[in-house]
Amino acid sequence: MKAASFFKKSPWAWIPTLYFAEGIPYVVVMTVAVIFYKRMGISNLDIAFYTSWLYLPWVLKPLWSPVVDLLKTKRWWIVTMQLLIGAGLAGVAFTIPLPFFFQATLAFFWLLAFSSATHDIAADGFYMLALSDHDQAMYVGIRNTFYRIAMITGQGALIILAGGLEMYTGLHPVSLNVNYQPAQSQYSPLSVASQNPQADFLVSPATLTFHQATLVSDSAQKLTAWATEQNKENGFVKVESAKTKAAIQASWWSRSVSTPLGNWIHTNFGERHKTATITKGKEGNVGIFAIRLAHAPENGKTVALNLSLKRGDNNFTITHGERLVFTNQNWQKPAYVVIQADPKLTKASSATFQGVSGNIPLAWTITFFVLAGLFLLIFAYHRIVLPRPTQDHGSGNIQSAISIMKEFFYTFSSFFQKKGVAAGIFFMLTYRLSESMLVKMATPFLLDSKEIGGLGLTTSEVGLVYGTVGVLSLTIGGIVGGILSAQKGLKYWFWPMALSISLPHLMYVYLAYFQPDNFWLINLSVAIEQFGYGFGFTAYMLYMIYLSQGEHRTAHYAICTAFMALGMMLPGMIAGWLQELLGYKHYFVWVMICILPTYLAVGLLKIDPLFGVRQKEQESKA
């Protein structure tokens, strides 16, 4: 009886799960989707463009919030949206194995985004209807805590789960060891290495050793061309279709705008990748690894081996063979990986490339099925446990609906008549400009191999670095920002917070230029950047509250959140395009340039010095 009474009366029975359920779909759409598409081989351009569009439901949320008020109850909207979210997650899982998975999963992510945004409206409204003013204040910390727990679960635990499944569902990783020894001894020819009888891949040689840093250009090019041709002939690499290239060039926008503009940006500002050529007809020495499967793929499946620099000197690069596909037709034949040394090497050095062959589609299918099951359980739980407040009812009649819509349009237009609203909108669109550019490329940068400018972390490592350490640092930064702003007010802390949200982006400039191997150093860099973001974002939240003051503050705050989402959506759409043109190093420099509109926006605002200051502090100042 006591247990039944608890579930009926105590807000503890439903507030933690309700706000956990509010956070999970948001983080899935905004962060997990980016990592998922990156692991599935989608380009940075497409990832940033299409996932940025998923912000649109949150941009439009204030426009359909009256519908939630007019039709049905908030409770009905909550449980229905949770059912739809569970169905959407299952839809993503079912469509991952399909050839057109990108389009299909994106459609289900759209369903998740609209369902999640609608769930936000209903959940926040239900919270106010089901609790007294006193209880609303008492449980606000609980709801925020469980929303953050949802972020850690989504960006951390789920990504770690997917990464573990990637490793578990594949063959044992294979290592390619490369050395440079500037000795006078003869160059050691390729020889078959002694293999572990339990190894899934056979590699020759065991260690590729260079004794000379240079090779005649003609010889290097012939070796690379031979290996490339052999891999194409045996079906280890995909041959790019000429029709695909023609289709890309077909549109007017591509011919007249994006391609010429992109070429100009790339030529003038693009990263100049380290070249392996030197003068007098020589370039970096080239060596070849031969790899084949030790046994045929199971049940006629293919095995995709993805190779990247795991540790060591990044003066060794893979010039061909980063991704090799083994089938029942070619598994007994050798596939070739071409390694090139930097011609300027003078000291002994080494590097290890690692090849992993996890079943990435299966790993992510299981992950999304787990999420779908979790949401169906949440749906069933809330269908029973959520209270039924007497005030929670739809309007029901046409006259009431007309009245509500008139009030909505009046409220919407009154927002744009506020004093200083133009500077406020500019601030809301630009304060996080650099962050909106950074956030879309942060996880692709962490995942991409070092050869193309990334850090080469595994999926599980990204879940720990960005999804756990990063989110915890973000949360701590927000808490510190809230405490300090309550003591001195928004105006006092505005500039320190603006600097905090922008200057720590330098950590990514450092990571891109130096590409450290030290995992703890990477964690520290991400933690500093995320702490700065959490601390600086406090000013943004407080300003939205400040601008919303007066009549219709709730509706005006909702409009502010729409501009907040729009400020993330628009820059994010071009982030991938710019990154591919500039390279990671120069792209993160561009992110730093994007902090200038932030400072301009802050300088244009006029804030009441007493806003945000505790009552006692205000009395002492008076």
Residue whose entry in the numeric block shows the structure tokens 């601390």: 535
Cα distance between residue 90 and residue 77, in whole Å: 20
CB 153 within 8 A of CB 145: no
Contacts of 268 (CB under 8 A, 6+ apart): none
pLDDT at 193: 41
How far CA 14 is from CA of 4, 10, 69, 143, 486, in Å, comes to 13, 8, 21, 10, 29
Alpha helices in 174-233 (DSSP H): 217-233
Angle at 240 between CA 234 and CA 246, to 5 degrees: 155
Q: What is the pLDDT of residues 546-592, one digit of tens each?
A: 888 777 777 788 888 889 889 998 998 888 888 888 889 999 999 99
CB 571 within 8 A of CB 593: no
Biggest distance spanned by C-alpha atoms of the chain: 94
pLDDT at 545: 82
Nearest to 570 by CA among 30, 6, 49, 179: 49
Cα distance between residue 468 and residue 484, in whole Å: 24
The two tokens of residue 603 are 């300088």
CB 580 within 8 A of CB 45: yes
pTM for the complete prediction? 0.79
CB 513 within 8 A of CB 587: no
Task: Say what percent of the chain tops pLDDT 70.
Answer: 83
pLDDT at 273: 55
The two tokens of residue 48 are 């940033």
The two tokens of residue 461 are 């490592």
Where does 282-401 show beta strands of DSSP type E?
282-284, 286-293, 303-312, 316-320, 323-326, 335-341, 349-356
The two tokens of residue 219 are 């010889």
Q: Among 65-79, 173-187, 202-216, 499-513, which stretch is predicted with the lowest mean pLDDT?
A: 173-187
Element (H, E) at 208: strand 207-210
Neighbours of 75 (CB within 10 A): 20
Decide if pLDDT at 429 tops 50: yes
174-180 and 207-210 as β-strands: parallel, antiparallel, unpaired?
Answer: parallel
Structure confidence at residue 248 as a pLDDT band (50, 70, 90) = very low
Structure confidence at residue 426 as a pLDDT band (50, 70, 90) = very high
User: Can the peptide bond before residue 97 be classed as cis, meaning omega within 30 degrees of 0?
Assistant: no
Decide if pLDDT at 178 tops 60: yes
Which domains does the chain carry? 1-170+362-394 (1.20.1250.20), 174-240+263-357 (no CATH), 399-622 (1.20.1250.20)
How far CA 366 is from CA of 96, 159, 336, 361, 373, in Å, comes to 10, 12, 32, 9, 11
Decide if pLDDT at 115 tops 70: yes
Structure confidence at residue 450 as a pLDDT band (50, 70, 90) = confident
Contacts of 414 (CB under 8 A, 6+ apart): 551, 552, 556
Cα distance between residue 458 and residue 311, in whole Å: 13
Residue whose entry in the numeric block shows the structure tokens 């990063």: 470
Q: What is the pLDDT of residues 332-376, one digit of tens each?
A: 899 999 998 888 878 888 888 888 887 888 889 999 999 999 999
Decide if pLDDT at 28 tops 50: yes
Contacts of 196 (CB under 8 A, 6+ apart): none
Decide if pLDDT at 243 tops 70: no
Cα distance between residue 534 and residue 78, in whole Å: 29
Q: Among 152-166, 177-191, 203-217, 246-260, which stretch is predicted with the lowest mean pLDDT?
A: 246-260
CB 130 within 8 A of CB 392: yes
CB 154 within 8 A of CB 34: no
Task: Say what percent of the chain tops pLDDT 90.
Answer: 26
CB 441 within 8 A of CB 581: no
Decide if pLDDT at 147 tops 60: yes
Q: What is the pLDDT of residues 284-293, one digit of tens each?
A: 888 899 998 8
Nearest to 19 by CA among 161, 126, 129: 126
Structure confidence at residue 404 as a pLDDT band (50, 70, 90) = low
CB 544 within 8 A of CB 488: no
Cα distance between residue 4 and residue 254, in whole Å: 63
pLDDT at 1: 45
DSSP string, 514-540: H----HHHHHHHHHHHHHHHHHHHHHH
Q: Which residues pair with 214 in a beta bridge?
A: 284
CB 356 within 8 A of CB 173: yes
| DSSP 8-state class, residue 148 | H
Structure confidence at residue 198 as a pLDDT band (50, 70, 90) = low
pLDDT at 9: 60
**Mean pLDDT calculated for residue range 13-28:** 90
Decide if pLDDT at 381 tops 90: yes
The two tokens of residue 252 are 């007017």
C-alpha dihedral (501, 507, 508, 512), degrees to nearest 10: 160
Nearest to 381 by CA among 2, 15, 5, 1: 15
Q: Which residues pair with 289 in a beta bridge?
A: 337
